[in-house]
Amino acid sequence: MQLAIVVNEGPYTHQASDTAYHFTKAALEKGHGITRVFFYHDGVNNGTRLTVPPQDDRNLQKLWSELGEKHGLDMVVCIAAAQRRGILDADEARRHGKDASNIAAGFRISGLGQLIEAGIEADRLVVFGD
C-alpha cells in the first residue's frame, strides 16, 4: 500500500514529528511504500540543517535525513510555509537576497500542490500535527 505522510509541527516542541518518523519507519519495515512525506506549518522546521540538539537527545532532522536517504523518500518542505519560517535552499536564498541557505540533506522545497498530489496518488494519507 502507498502511504502519504503529512507533518505539521516542528521538532521538539511537539511530538508530532517523532510520531510521524516512527510511523513512517514502521510502514517501510512492513513493506509499504511512502508516496511522499510533506512538511507543512511549523513542520518545515524539521528540514533545517542548523539544529544542534544536546548529545543525549535525538536529532530529528538527522533521523529524517537518514531515513530518507536509506529508502529514497521524497521529503518535501512547503515553500510558502518555509519562506515564512526561514527555511531556504540555495536557489530560494539567492532569489530573496539572503546570505545563507539551510535546507537539510534529503529535503526539497516545493509547492503545496505536492501535498494535494500525494493525497491523490496515495492509498492513505495520515496527518501528524498538534
Partner 1 sequence: MAQKKKFLYLNRKAPHGTIYALESLEVVLIGAAFEQDVSLAFLDDGVFQLMAGQDTTAAGMKNFSRTFKALGDYDVRKFYVERESLAERGLTVEDLMPITYEDENEDYAEKPSIHLVGRAELAAIIADQDVVLSF
Partner 2 sequence: MSTLHTVNKSPFERNALTSCTGHLLAGDAVLMIEDGVLGARTGSSAVAVVQAALESGSVYALAPDCAARGIKPDDLIEGVQLVDYAGFVDLVAQHQRTVAWL
Q: Enter the C-alpha cell of residue 41.
A: 506549518
Work out the number of other CB atoms within 10 angstroms of the CB of residue 7: 32
16-35 footprint of partner 1 as x/- string (CB under 8 A): --------------------
Contacts of 40 (CB under 8 A, 6+ apart): 6, 7, 8, 78, 81, 112, 115
28-67 footprint of partner 1 as x/- string (CB under 8 A): ------------xx--------------------------
Which C-beta is closer to partner 1: that of 103 or that of 122? 122
Which C-beta is closer to partner 2: that of 94 or that of 124? 124
The 3-state DSSP class for residue 101 equals coil
Q: How far is the CB of 5 from partner 2 (least distance, A)?
A: 10
Residue from 6, 27, 73, 104 touching partner 1 (CB under 8 A): that is: 6
User: Facing residues of 128 across strands?
Assistant: 7
- DSSP structure class, residue 46: G
Active site residue 107: no
CA distance 130 to 127: 10
Where do contacts with partner 2 occur on this chain (CB under 8 A)?
Answer: 1, 3, 8, 15-16, 19, 22-23, 25-27, 29-30, 32, 124-130
